Amino acid sequence: MDHDHSHAHSSSNIKVAFFLNLGFTLLEIVGGVLTNSVAILSDAVHDLGDSLSLGLAWYLAGYSEKGQTNRYSYGYRRFSLLGAFINAVVLVVGSLYILSEAIPRLINPEQSSAPGMIIFALIGIAVNGAAVLRLRNDQTMNAQVVTWHLLEDVLGWVAVLAVGVTLLFVDMPILDPILSILITLYVLYNVIRNLWKTVELFLQATPDNIDLTDIIQKLEAVPGVQSSHHTHLWSLDGEHHVLTTHLVVDQHTSRDEVMRIKAATKDVVNDLNLEHLTIEIEYEDEDCSVRAASQEHQYEH
């Protein structure tokens, strides 16, 4: 029930962020036309792309809450990862577009309306900042990438505010493209890093914050366990994980001792936020083809 509540909360947060972003985008379009500001209209186009990505993230976050089926026996949580991947790609493309617009302005700076920039910057910081705060505690990759979408907008509007205030006193229009480039490069770096994490999760890599070698050592330290093999840990969506392992015990181990070993094993991995846990107990004299294969390959760091 806790897992279901967590994902329902995540979907609700992304929903709020979507409507906040879409509402502000419409306001930007109207404001851009009224103030005849190409810069604000350009940002409106960028935010419109963000809104579409947020809508997709919201849909996939809700879709990922569906239970398991014969087709998807682990459920639909990994659809949340799909949302993270698509959003990251969109954000990379959007960032490259911003760079293509900002770099030429280093050579030919354009005058901007300082009062209009300040007003829209304050609104933009408030709206996007509220959405970031709403999502700050979500741990899924989908929510994290969405947060970077919104954080990019917050940082961008902070830059607009700084430039707007500065232009009230100093005629330095080149400040706008300089700050835009710096912020976009910073956000682009973090998005690419999150994109790579998403790809690793798709490839069923062990999550970065979990040491598989340490877990194996703890499993083999459980009283009654002689060795272990075929231990795999991967993540459904960056938050909920799956662990499978084979534990070898003495051939004379009783049923009660096996139950105790399983209970002790669950205690060892209790803090890993596991969605699925599979523990297979094998007796020492039991033939296991998986064990033979695993003995030929050692885990690499």
How does strand 274-283 pair with strand 241-249?
A: parallel
**Position 1 confidence tier, pLDDT thresholds 50, 70, 90:** very low
Residue 223 lies in a domain: yes
- Co-location of 236 and 193 in the same domain: no
Residue 43 lies in a domain: yes
- Co-location of 248 and 179 in the same domain: no
Which of 41-45, 105-109, 219-223 is modeled with the greatest confidence? 219-223
* Token code pair at residue 202: 């798709």
- Co-location of 231 and 111 in the same domain: no
CB-based contact 176:105 (threshold 8 Å): yes
- Co-location of 191 and 223 in the same domain: no
For the chain, the average pLDDT equals: 76
Residue, of 65 and 266, whose pLDDT is higher: 266
Report the number of distinct structural domains present in the chain: 2
CATH of the domain at 275: 3.30.70.1350
* Ordered alpha helix ranges (H), 168-274: 175-202, 212-220, 255-268
At 4 the pLDDT is 46
- Co-location of 72 and 101 in the same domain: yes
Please state, for a pLDDT cut of 70, what percent of the chain lies above it.
76
pLDDT of 22-47, one tens digit each? Answer: 888 888 778 767 665 656 666 666 67
pLDDT of 231-278, one tens digit each? Answer: 999 888 777 888 999 999 988 889 999 999 999 988 888 888 787 888
Residue 299 lies in a domain: no
Residue 300 lies in a domain: no
Its domain, for residue 260, covers: 212-294
- Co-location of 192 and 272 in the same domain: no
DSSP 271: G
- Co-location of 258 and 126 in the same domain: no
* Token code pair at residue 267: 């205690």
The stretch 42-62 carries a mean pLDDT of: 69
